[in-house]
Structure 1
Amino acid sequence: MDTYIYSSKLILLLSFTLFNHCIACHRTDRSALLAFKAGITTDPSGLLETWDHTTDCCTEWAGIACDPATGRVVNLTRPGLTSGPDFVTDASLVGILSPALGSLSHLHVLDLTNLKRLTGPIPASLGRLSRLTDLLLSSNELTGPIPSLSRLRRLRRLFLNSNRLSGRIPPSIFSSKSLIQLALFENQFTGGIPASIGKLEFLEKLDFHDNLLTDPIPENIGSLHRLTHLDLSENQIRGNIPFSIGNLTRLIVLDLYKNDLTGNIPASISGMLSIEFCRISYNRLTGALPKSIGYLPRIQKLVLENNAISGKIPSSIGGLTTLNDIFLANNRLTGKIPSSVGKLKNLQTLDLARNRISGPIPHEFANLHNLQSLDLCNNPIGFTSLPAWLVEMSIFRLMLSETGIMGPLPDWLGLASSISALDLSNNHISGELPWWIGNMTGLTFLNLSRNAIRSTIPNEFRNLAMLMDLDLSYNNFYGPLLPVLDKGVSEALGQYKTLDVSRNGFTGGIDENIGEFVAMQVAEVLDFSYNPLGGRIPESMAKMSALKEIRLANDGLLGEIPDGLLDLEELTEFDVSGNELTGHIPRHETPLPAVWFSGNAGLCDDPLPPCGG
């Protein structure tokens, strides 16, 4: 029994000794890590605090993992941003990447992401780390070109995004056929995507957005059959969308926003059977929408706005039954909206603004029970009046500027309590502003400018307790402004941000308590110009500390400019030209041109000639 106990203790002792011997940090790796630490000038969060030459790097250094059989470092992970179920840690390092990191010859994972202030180049020596599977250096301030990575043939993830890297994208980064994720976004890369990218048969995510790329997308992009995410947005990429794009049957996200792409949308787009998000807006695409665009069985968001796409909207669009949002604004589309749009039962946003679409609007629109935002602005729809079935749709945002609407506002609009944003500007609306406007208590944005409405403001207007942006300019409103200025507010909403009542016939002056009204206290833009208001500029206006732009030109105003009004910290514009103001212009720090004070014979001092001069 004693012999057994002695033998067991001896085995345990030998095992413990052997175990400790096997995990001891290799001297080459220790030296490389200490050299990296020496290149760090500031470590405010103590990320490398445990890296002490007197301790073992494999067991006591934070962020280091070793192979227990060899003592070689396999993981170096010191990211700046870490999180758990109940914590988030945000740290940084100031310094450079030491070339000595290239001596960590057994390294699999190098993660120095989100350290914010690592500067200088990526050392060429990192190209020797042939066992590396993850090279993660994103969200720093690294500069210069990407060194050759042709020996990194096991690499699966390469994240160099959100730095200041420049130069052309080297073909060597595509040397690893095992690459699954490649992120170079938010840098300054130029040129194009090397054609050798077509060899990355396992690539799933490719993100090069926000660079300076110009060359056409390589045709063999369609060889990346496992690709699920492709983001080349916010570059300057020229040329056509490759026809091979239709071979990307697993692609879920395609983002080509804000480039210089030309030509047609290829008919092969229907091959992207998994696509859910497609954004090709802000390019120079031309031609008609292909019929095949209606054969995308999983599409949820289709964004093609701000191109030069022409022709009619194909009736096949009704096949996109999974579609939630479609943006086709600012193109050259013509003809009528197809009735098949009424089949888009999941549609929430339809934006066809700034095209050449004509009416009438198909009655099938009434089937779009989930529609929340409808924008048909700046189209020759030729509305004689607003269709009554709109009230049945529970629309949240209704934008119908410059669509030919005529006559008075229809009474049913007062029942449309779901509407939050309403734009009926630039039409031929006439008659009065009805009392039931006060029933539209969900309104946060209202634009009735550039119509022919002749009316006072009904007292019920005060009920619009959520209204924050109002434009009544270029109409024939008259009477006092008080129902507009002293309206109700809700707890979280309802204080004006912008208020434009210019070019009307309002009278009765600006209420002396304007700066005390709760609805006015955070207003940024105030335009009362070209109204026969009369009276004085209220002293309480100087309490409206958020004001940036004040326009009171040609309002028949008398008296002096109140002290403090020109000292508002945010003020950038103050136009009181064409009034009958007198006295000294108060001292002000903001440079204000003389033209904003012109036409007031009794005003003097900077920027006008001095008083008594």
Structure 2
Amino acid sequence: MLPFGNLYKLQHLDLWHNFLEANIPSFLGNLSQLQHLPLSCYYFEGNIPSQLGNLTKLEQLYLGGYLGGGIKIEDGGQWLSNLLSLTHFSLVSISNLDRSYSWLKMIAKLPELSELSLVGCSLSDHFILLSKPSKLNFSTSLSVLDLSQNTFTSPMVFQWVSNITSNLFELDLSANHLEGFTSSDFGTVKNSLRHLDLSSNNFKAKDLKSFTNICTLHSLYLSSNKFTEDLPSILSNLSRGCVRHSLQKLDLSSNHITGTLSDISVFSSLKTLFLQTNRLSGRIPEGVKLPSTLEDLSISENFFKGGIPKSFGNACALHSFDMSGNNLNVELPTIISHLSGCARYSLQELYLHMNKIIGTLPDFSTFTSLKVLYLSENKLNGEIHKDIQFPHQLEELDVHSNSLKGVLSDYHFTNMSKLHVLDLSDNSLALTFTQNWVPPFRLFTIKLRSCNLGPAFPKWLQTQNKYFYIDISKAAISDIVPKWFWAKLPLQQGSKIANPLLPPRASLCNSLSLLPNSPEFVFTFMAVSMLGAVATTTNPSYTAAELAKQLDVSNAKLVVTLSTHVHKLNNQQAQHHFFKVATVDDPPENCWAFPEGDESEVSEVEISVEDTVALPFSSGTTRLAKGVILTHKSLVTSVAQQIEGENPHMYLKEEDVADPEV
């Protein structure tokens, strides 16, 4: 261990998610000025030292030992009573919390505590029964309580929470084993609760009546439960109380819900509705109304057929609409016409890929805010009209694997300066541009397989200097490949590990590593950093829902993982996320094999010390996981601090050190 005890002025010490072995050092208690102490490391074990109670100025404390023997709280956690300034406290995978509740009594007395996480600590119904005789009353400052990844089964946990808290804002009970009806009496909690996460439990639709009268509830997460009823009855039960006026986000994804979409306008404040990966089917009735506040609607990966009601076009706040992975089988111009009410001004993302939609491409220019348009893997056919245009704000256009015909000219791409993903592959399209045309865009992804680009080599590609993926195979080119193309190509490459996978600049791509501690983890991280791209890491034990959140935030374009984890990513690929998956072992279908390479083939990329190199995320033990931007400078400095003697790569100055004499 490093001699932290000498740094008596230290206020922030972060050892989160390292592979430190042995016990938590007791000399940390000598750092009397500490205010922030994240100590969640993989191999920490043994008892939490009571000397931590000397840190009376501590505001944030995160303790956990994910692997190995785990860490324990002994002596009833008496040392906790001294931490009167503590506002954020997290315990992850503490092995003996279920045996006694004395430690919880100590925590309940902390006057400033606002966020408490007890994640993966094997807390059960037995613990609730054990602690019931005592009167636990947390301070009114406690607003966030995370009890996820425990083993609660009985809904009496709700009553217990309402008895010990009075001003709770957020409650996370995801990934337990909860089931059954609970009393609708939540005490004073129902006057304050905003966010309730019950995903990955065993609830059924009839249990929803328990939550209908929480009049302050904004977000309700119920994905991956045991709902098998039809959607109209589920929404009817949920809308019987005042929650229909307050609810802003409802997640019912990854259940077994049947029926079709019914009128949801009764939820007058709803902004987000997730119904993807259920068993919804049939045609959506023409009279279905959406709330005027709705911004994000996902009903992908179901069995809907027919088209989209005209009423959807009246959703004037709709930003994202995902109906991919269904059986829609009407003409695309009809669908676009039905969305052409006021929604055409607000819609930014439209996902209709993997359906059976027919017809050709209509004019999209009236959708003035549209940024993402996915129409791939349908049955689109017919000739593209010479006068249609796409929105000027469009960033991603994907129509691959259809039967479209006709000619696309520079007119179709007028003023599309923001386009960076273009996939027209596996159609019967010809791209015919004027000889000296300079595209307004700079593409990151160019997929034009089976399009007619010839017979001359497409000169407009000379203007593209940011792409990291190009496919112009089967493009009817009968020409000598120009020297400028070969000269430009190395600029798009890194090492062989990274060549097929990543773009050459951090602004273009993030790579997510879903790997255990392994050589491939190191190779991936180094390859990404050499390219000037950004690596974000995650825990292999994460659930699909947890991965989805990190993919959303990090905007990762590549995931490097083991084949055993690929199933967690399938739904995300079918929905909003545009990324590729590479596995370090035998790749499953639609995955890339982890390539081997030679470092000598890496092209030099100009990288600033202030460029972002990594985006690690917190463990999510207090509310949602948060990303932390790390630059090349910060990583090198961190390593340099651990090297004895003079170090030319040290970015510290004398004024950066708390005590220059130390």
Whether the TM-score (by the shorter chain) exceeds 0.5 is: yes
1:452 correspondence with 2:403 = yes
Alignment of 1:162-561 (within 5 A): 165-169=94-98, 170-175=100-105, 178=109, 181=113, 183=115, 185=117, 189-192=121-124, 194-196=127-129, 200=136, 202=138, 204-208=142-146, 212-216=149-153, 218-225=155-162, 226=166, 228-232=168-172, 236-240=175-179, 243-244=182-183, 247=186, 248-250=189-191, 251-257=193-199, 259-264=200-205, 266-283=208-225, 285-289=227-231, 290=234, 291-294=236-239, 295=241, 296=243, 297-315=245-263, 317-337=264-284, 342=289, 344-384=291-331, 385-392=334-341, 393=343, 394=345, 395-411=347-363, 413-463=364-414, 464-479=416-431, 487-489=439-441, 495-508=442-455, 510-511=457-458, 514=461, 516-517=462-463, 520-535=464-479, 538-539=485-486, 540-545=488-493, 548-549=499-500
Distance 1:477-1:187 versus aligned 2 partners, 3 A rule: same
Deviations 1:20-77 (A, max 9, x none): xxxxxxxxxxxxxxxxxxx9813686516xxxxxxxxxxxxxxxxxxxxxxxxxxxxx
1:311 and 1:483 map into 2 onto residues whose CA distance is: 55
432-441 or 373-382, which deviates more = 432-441
CA contact (8 A) 1:167 1:188 kept: no
CA contact (8 A) 1:462 1:484 kept: no
Secondary structure class of the residue paired with 1:521: coil
1:42 correspondence with 2:4 = yes
Letter in 2 for 1:309: I
2:62 and 2:338 map into 1 onto residues whose CA distance is: 51
Higher strand share: 1
CA contact (8 A) 2:93 2:119 kept: yes
2:58 and 2:8 map into 1 onto residues whose CA distance is: 23
Deviations 1:396-450 (A, max 9, x none): 1122224443222234x23222211112222222223334454521110111122
Give the match for residue 595 of structure 1.
none
528-537 or 328-337, which deviates more = 528-537
Alignment of 1:103-122 (within 5 A): 112-114=35-37
Secondary structure class of the residue paired with 2:446: strand
CA contact (8 A) 1:246 1:269 kept: no
Letter in 1 for 2:204: G
CA contact (8 A) 1:500 1:527 kept: yes
Report the alpha carbon displacement of residue 355 of structure 1 after superposing the two structures with TM: 1.4
Equivalent of 2:61, from 122, 125, 138?
138
1:430 and 1:318 map into 2 onto residues whose CA distance is: 35
Report the alpha carbon displacement of residue 98 of structure 1 after superposing the two structures with TM: 3.2
Report the alpha carbon displacement of residue 187 of structure 1 after superposing the two structures with TM: 6.0
1:335 and 1:158 map into 2 onto residues whose CA distance is: 51
CA contact (8 A) 2:430 2:453 kept: yes
Report the alpha carbon displacement of residue 299 of structure 1 after superposing the two structures with TM: 1.1
211-220 or 116-125, which deviates more = 116-125
Deviations 1:516-563 (A, max 9, x none): 42xx32222222334433445531222224784389xxxxxxxxxxxx
165-174 or 441-450, which deviates more = 165-174
1:439 and 1:507 map into 2 onto residues whose CA distance is: 24
Secondary structure class of the residue paired with 1:477: strand
Report the alpha carbon displacement of residue 144 of structure 1 after superposing the two structures with TM: 0.7
Distance 1:353-1:320 versus aligned 2 partners, 3 A rule: same
Distance 1:100-1:353 versus aligned 2 partners, 3 A rule: closer
Higher relative contact order (CA 8 A, sep 6+): 2
2:272 and 2:254 map into 1 onto residues whose CA distance is: 16
Percent of aligned pairs with the same amino acid: 19
Report the alpha carbon displacement of residue 185 of structure 1 after superposing the two structures with TM: 4.1
Alignment of 1:564-575 (within 5 A): none
Give the match for residue 87 of structure 1.
none
Q: Which protein is bigger by CA-based radius of gyration?
A: 1
Report the alpha carbon displacement of residue 298 of structure 1 after superposing the two structures with TM: 1.0
Give the match for residue 147 of structure 1.
74
Deviations 1:85-118 (A, max 9, x none): xxxxxxxxxx95538969xxxxxx9974236699
Q: Which runs of 5+ in 1 are unaligned?
A: 1-38, 49-77, 82-94, 103-108, 490-494, 552-566, 574-586, 593-613
Letter in 2 for 1:286: T
Q: Which runs of 5+ in 2 are unaligned?
A: 15-22, 503-526, 532-557, 561-579, 581-595, 602-662
1:220 and 1:164 map into 2 onto residues whose CA distance is: 19
1:182 and 1:218 map into 2 onto residues whose CA distance is: 24
Letter in 2 for 1:589: D
CA contact (8 A) 1:348 1:372 kept: yes
Secondary structure class of the residue paired with 2:3: strand
Secondary structure class of the residue paired with 1:195: helix
Report the alpha carbon displacement of residue 459 of structure 1 after superposing the two structures with TM: 1.7
Distance 1:360-1:374 versus aligned 2 partners, 3 A rule: same
Report the alpha carbon displacement of residue 371 of structure 1 after superposing the two structures with TM: 1.3
Q: CA-atom RMSD, angstroms?
A: 4.6
Report the alpha carbon displacement of residue 285 of structure 1 after superposing the two structures with TM: 4.1
Report the alpha carbon displacement of residue 588 of structure 1 after superposing the two structures with TM: 6.0
Letter in 1 for 2:121: F
114-123 or 275-284, which deviates more = 114-123
Distance 1:485-1:165 versus aligned 2 partners, 3 A rule: farther
CA contact (8 A) 1:241 1:266 kept: no
CA contact (8 A) 1:219 1:243 kept: yes
1:346 and 1:221 map into 2 onto residues whose CA distance is: 30
1:512 and 1:337 map into 2 onto residues whose CA distance is: 47
Deviations 1:465-502 (A, max 9, x none): 1111122122111355899995213xxxxx32222222
